[in-house]
Amino acid sequence: MSTEEPATAAAPAKKEKKAPPPGLVIPPKKPKLTKAERRALQEQQRATKAAAAGKPPPSQQQQQQQQGGKPKTESGEVKKQTETSSASKAAADGTSGDKTNSHETPEGGGEGNARLAMVSHLNPYRPVQELFELGPTLRSKTGGNISSPASNNPLENTNLHPAVVQLGYRYASGEIRGGNARCRHMLSCWQQILKDYQPADLSADLRPIVDGLLKTSFQFWTEHCRPHSVSMGNAYTMIKTATGALDRTTQWQELREELVETMQAYTRERIDFAGQAIADLACTKLLPDEKSSTSSRRKNSTNATGPPTILVYGYSEVVSLVLRQAAAQHKQFSVICVDSRPLLEGRRMLEELRQAGVKDCTYILLNALTYILPSVTTVLVGASALMSDGAVWNRVGTANVALLASAHNIPVLVCAESYKISNRVQLEALTHNEMGVPPANPQEDSEDDDDNNKKSIKNLTPLNLLYDLTPASFVSGIVTELGIVPPTSVAVLLRELNSQQQA
């Protein structure tokens, strides 16, 4: 027996191919295409797709790009017309249509855009020329009305009162700044609206009509001109509550007089009288007579001899009232006004103090703060809002002043009316803030700058946030019309004020 027979016997039998089932149609195999044939097929598919989209074939686009031109499509023509109209509009407004000079965040990438990503959720600053049409008659570019399709407002599609548009222009242009001034003018404008308005149906429930009047103007100021302050929001909430508490059968004349009286009382008691009470309390406690103030100055500052030195930052209406009243009482003290760009509101504070007779006044910028802190007795600042956790919301730069003063063991006192207390809690100043006028870019064509400096200036993106948040740990006390309280007691004040309003 040969050795090949077992191998032959062990070899497996070949599997027979199964026949396809009846009725199955097998398509013939596609012939293999060459590289040139595949390229021609792809070009044909692209041309078909471009024709369906209304664009020229890719070959024609490549020829136009090689010649330095751009494909003239329907969308391209629309885009070109849009850019032309925006450029002419910018030229008419006196602004540049170049995206590099725009206050909005550009769409392209870059290191500067990455820095602005953290504030991209904030509304960009818009010049007042973009918001209003200036001429013989001041008009808003929204068409003079505010409409909301989802609203049941009876005043929908009704023209705004001229006083509303005029006040909105003053808000947007920065003519009216400060929480007290903005709230005071808002209530005064509403009083004028109620006096001029006459409802068509005097027998209907007039409360929704009044609520619509107030809501329409408040939305216009907030959404079109400038975000509202905490003081404006609290005043609006109070007026809405007072309107809802009225009887539905109240006649229009009586309802109007009662609401006007309520607004006047709110302005008088919560703003004017509260500021005067804070000034009286601060003059008594913070600027006592010379005999009783010597020991306290030795504890608080190295300036043990001479009158106390008060450091203020920016401009605050109530802080200015405190110092002017102290000067009227012939108290001896010196003031250091700290200021910062771009608003430079400290100049207004300095001018008011000099007119009130405060002789010893010093004006410095924020970057020189550390040099004069050893001679400071007390830091006195205002507040745009008081958070429920004791943090202070104020003009940007206040947190720097409070931080440095706390590091030098100098007491920081915040003067604020109780109607500025907010029930919000905010941990940082980026979630909710407001964009101001960006500072002008430095000159890029200076001959003294080297190439690296010019490149850094070119990549510089100006940014101006209007507010910052001062933590409660940097604040020694808060001076209100109810007394001087620690920051931890702000929540108690808020609870007491809410209970009084509900009662």
443-475 pLDDT, tens digit per residue, is 544 555 555 555 566 677 778 899 999 999 999
Could you give the CA distance from residue 317 to residue 288 in angstroms, rounded to a whole number? 21
Q: Which amino acid, 307?
A: P
Cα 334 to Cα 486: distance, rounded to the nearest angstrom = 26
Secondary structure element (H or E) that encloses residue 361, with its range: strand 361-365
Q: Sign of dihedral through CA atoms 220, 221, 225, 226?
A: negative
What's the CA gap between 171 and 167, in Å, rounded? 6
Alpha-helical (H) ranges within 301-448 are 317-328, 346-356, 369-372, 398-407
Contact 311, 378 (CB under 8 A): yes
Which two three-digit tokens encode residue 243?
Answer: 């309107």
Give CATH 3.40.50.10470 domain extents, the chain: 305-439+461-502
Question: How far is it, in rounded angstroms, from Cα 416 to Cα 231?
Answer: 11
Cis peptide before 342 (omega within 30 of 0): yes
The structure tokens listed for 35 are 């590289």
State pTM to two decimals.
0.70
Q: Write down the architecture of domain 305-439+461-502 according to CATH.
A: 3-Layer(aba) Sandwich (3.40)
**What is the per-residue pLDDT for 503?**
56
Do the Cβ atoms of 333 and 359 come closer than 8 Å? no
Which H helix or E strand runs over 162? helix 162-173
Planar angle of CA 31, 34, 40, nearest 5 degrees: 105
Give the Cα separation of 144 and 208 in Å (integer).
Answer: 21
- Give the integer Cα–Cα distance in Å for 102 and 106: 8
Start and end residues for every CATH 1.20.120.420 domain found in the chain: 159-273
Mode of pairing for the β-strands spanning 378-381 and 412-415: parallel
The domain 159-273 having CATH identifier 1.20.120.420: the answer here is yes
Measured distance CA(147)–CA(178) in Å, rounded = 29
Instruction: Write out pLDDT tens, residues 313-326.
Output: 999 999 999 999 99
Q: Which residues of the chain, if any, have pLDDT below 70?
A: 1-17, 57-115, 142-158, 289-305, 439-458, 500-503
Residues contacting 312, CB < 8 A, separation 6+: 319, 323, 335, 336, 337, 338, 346, 349, 379, 380, 381
pLDDT at 496: 83
SS3 per residue for 185-214:
HHHHHHHHHHHHCCCCCCCCCCHHHHHHHH
Q: What letter would DSSP give residue 362? A: E
Evaluate whether 231 touches 420 at the Cβ level (below 8 Å). yes
